[in-house]
Each structure stands twice: as structure tokens, then as C-alpha cells.
Amino acid sequence: MGKLKVGILFGGRSEEHPVSVKSAQAVARHLDAERYEPVWVGVARDGAWKLCDGPDAGWEDGREVVLGRRLLVLDDGKYESVELDVVLPVLHGKLGEDGAVQGLLELSGIPYAGCDVQSSALCMDKSLAYVVARSAGIGTPDFWVVGEDVDPKQFSYPVFVKPARSGSSFGVSKVSGEEELVGAVRGAAHYDDKVLVEAAVVGSEVGCAVLGNGSDLFVGEVDRIALSHGFFRIHQEDSPETGSENSTPIVPADVPAETRLLVQETAKAIYRALGCRGLARVDMFLKDDGTVALNEVNTLPGLTSYSRYPRMMAAAGVSLSDLIDRVVSLAVRGR
């Protein structure tokens, strides 16, 4: 049997473009060359798709491609066709994990890894994800969708102001008083025209890596983010590979066994309620009263050396190479 030809998409047009490139570099280091023939396609910041040799420096100079039922490589007025067996999107944020590229891949008819259009769009919009989670009996923060005409007097502080559809804490602010709110809303609106105000949750940030489809789910070890100050935003720091300025991930989390099980079971319930498949990282709050509430779901979590998802899976005995195998196999079997 020949190698599986895997189209790997990375880059993208969102603010998480650099993180996506780093995730793709990690995939390149751990992809099983005996099983897979990678076809690297980088998405430049201007939206151009580039066929390249990998996610290293200079990939933007590759030949331009378009996606139909196969990749069409454009070259001086001519084109050649490249067949793909499956696509592995390694894209984060808008136009990567919000259902947009998933819709394009659905139209192409090429199997792809990860969540489908509906679950990708749902998880990307925090307010919609909260509504669905609540309907499934899962706790969420109190939240309000607001505009620039928001009345600061209606809230008890502190609160968090967030773009409804963004990731890696871009545009997120902790607001301690009325005088800060309007500026924070304007800052969040730079990333999305839908802005949330969330009540602060007293507790710890915990997460769970989930892998699989339907009832057949595997979960990694739970992690806990220990914060010295502020909130978790490692992907915006200058050198996250060497450690964070304000956070330390503890894997496995330093919580009792029954709490660990509660976090894992809640993560699976959230994953199923939101229709996820393939993989996702479910971020939650472990409240001081011992209950768990949803924070957000990342349908294409980071795969970098400092990312939470591969760390949680590694702590459960699943290497990044094995993780890639499982995700690709799910895509081939399940579409």
C-alpha cells in the first residue's frame, strides 16, 4: 500500500498566523515519513494559497494553488493537478477554525481532519457555544453581547471583555471598573464586531484535550494554568518557547482524582454537545466550590512545543506523531 497523500494547510489570514506556522513546523518534525506524503500549502496573510516544500522560511514564495476536487497548481498560465487523500488543517482563528475553510473542503469533497462546518462555527462563537452548553446542563460564565453604546453601570466588576470570535486571548481585557469598559469594548471590536462582557469566574483555569468521534473519545491528562497575575495569553508573548511571563502549565493538574475525572467527563459532555469530532481542546474553569464551567473550545488547538493540547496528550502517553496518525485516520474513516 502506498503512502497517504496528506494536504497540510497552515498560515492563514487571522492574527494567529504565526502560531499556525509554528504548529505546522511541529507537525513537520513528527509526521511519519514512511506512512505519509505531505503536500504543504501555506495560506499567506493576503489569502493566497502557496504550494511549498514545508513551513520553513521562504514558503510564501511557492507556486500559487487553488482548491477544487483536487489542488490545481498554477504556473505561468498553465496548471497541474495534485490529488489528495485527506487534508489536515493546521490553521487557527478566523477563516481557519470558524467553519470557513471547512466549508471549502466540504465543497471539494476531500476528507479533512477535525470538526465540521457547524461545530467549527459554533465553537468559534463563544456566546453561541455558551447557549448550547447551558441547554445541555453545563455551567458557563454570565455574559452579555454588547456594543460601544454599552452602559458601564449595568455590571459588577471585575469583568472580562472579549471578541466573540477570536482566539489566543487577542482583544481580551480584564476590566476592573466602569471607566475602563468602553475602551476595552473598542479594543475587542478591533478583532470582531461581536463583543462579549463576561462576569469574572472565581477559580482556576483547567483544560482537557479530547480526541475522537461520537461515543468513542480519548481524553488526555487534565492541565491547570497557574497564574502569577493577569490572564493566560502565552501566544502573544515575545518568546513563548522559553516560558511564559505570567503562567505555568501544570500537567497533570494538581487536583484530586475525583476533580480530574469531573473535568474530563465535563470536557467530553461539552465536546459532544457542540458536535465536535476529530480533536478539540476544551478549556474550563474549576470554580472554588468544586464545580466546572465552560470557558471556550478550540477546534484546531495549537500543536507547538509550548501548546497545551500536545502536552496533555503526551502526559497520557500519546506522542505528537501518534496523535497525527489518529487524527488523520479518523478523517479518512469518518467522512
Over residues 299-322, the mean pLDDT reads 95
125 and 195 part of one domain:
no
pLDDT value at 233 more than 70: no
**Model confidence at 76, in pLDDT bands (50, 70, 90)?**
confident
171 and 303 part of one domain:
no
328 and 208 part of one domain:
yes
3-state secondary structure of 4: strand
| Catalytic position from the list 13, 94, 224, 235 | 235
Peptide bond into 310 cis (omega under 30): no
pLDDT value at 247 more than 80: no
8 and 92 part of one domain:
yes
pLDDT value at 242 more than 70: no
Over residues 241-255, the mean pLDDT reads 79
Q: Pick from 152, 176, 199: which residue ends a domain?
A: 199
Active site residue 306: yes
How many residues in total does the chain contain? 335
| pLDDT at 241 (0 to 100) | 62
Selection from 6, 13, 64 nearest residue 36 by Cα:
6
* Domain carrying residue 98: 4-112
Active site residue 22: yes
pLDDT value at 333 more than 90: no
**Model confidence at 123, in pLDDT bands (50, 70, 90)?**
very high
What are the b/e assignments for 288-307, b being 16+ CB within 10 Å? eeeebbbbbbbbbbbbbebb
| Percent of the residues in the chain that have a pLDDT greater than 70, as a whole number | 93
Query: Which CATH number covers residue 306?
Result: 3.30.470.20
**Model confidence at 92, in pLDDT bands (50, 70, 90)?**
very high
What is the pLDDT of the chain when averaged over all its residues?
92
326 and 190 part of one domain:
no
Active site residue 7: no
| pLDDT at 31 (0 to 100) | 97
Residue 33 is which amino acid?
A: A
Over residues 127-143, the mean pLDDT reads 97
**Model confidence at 59, in pLDDT bands (50, 70, 90)?**
very high
Evaluate whether 318 touches 326 at the Cβ level (below 8 Å).
Answer: yes
pLDDT value at 237 more than 80: no
| pLDDT at 78 (0 to 100) | 83
148 and 15 part of one domain:
no
Least reliable range by pLDDT among 56-70, 199-213, 250-264, 281-295: 56-70
Least reliable range by pLDDT among 124-133, 166-175, 252-261, 323-332: 166-175
169 and 33 part of one domain:
no
**Model confidence at 28, in pLDDT bands (50, 70, 90)?**
very high
Query: Cβ of 173: how many Cβ atoms within 10 Å?
Result: 19
292 and 330 part of one domain:
yes
Selection from 191, 178, 122, 112 nearest residue 150 by Cα:
178
Active site residue 335: no
| pLDDT at 69 (0 to 100) | 82
pLDDT value at 234 more than 60: no
pLDDT value at 235 more than 70: no
pLDDT value at 231 more than 80: no
| Catalytic position from the list 194, 268, 281, 326 | 281
| Catalytic position from the list 241, 243, 265, 290 | 241
Query: Cβ of 54: how many Cβ atoms within 10 Å?
Result: 18
| Catalytic position from the list 7, 11, 278, 302 | 302
pLDDT value at 308 more than 70: yes
| Catalytic position from the list 126, 306, 311, 328 | 306
What are the b/e assignments for 207-244, b being 16+ CB within 10 Å? bbbbbbbeeebebbbbbbbbeeeeebbbbeeeebeeeb
| pLDDT at 230 (0 to 100) | 60
131 and 147 part of one domain:
no
Active site residue 241: yes
| pLDDT at 232 (0 to 100) | 57
Q: How many domains does the chain have?
A: 3
pLDDT value at 245 more than 80: no
Cα-to-chain-centroid distance, residue 133: 18
182 and 288 part of one domain:
no
pLDDT value at 267 more than 60: yes
| Catalytic position from the list 7, 13, 16, 22 | 22
148 and 296 part of one domain:
no
For strand 195-199 and strand 159-163, is the pairing parallel, antiparallel, or unpaired?
antiparallel
Q: Is the dihedral of CA 227, 228, 232, 234 positive or negative?
A: negative
Active site residue 36: no
| Catalytic position from the list 92, 94, 165, 311 | 92
Least reliable range by pLDDT among 120-124, 149-153, 226-230, 302-306: 226-230
Side-chain-facing half-sphere of 232: CA atoms under 13 Å: 21
Q: Pick from 180, 199, 218: which residue ends a domain?
A: 199
Evaluate whether 132 touches 122 at the Cβ level (below 8 Å).
Answer: yes
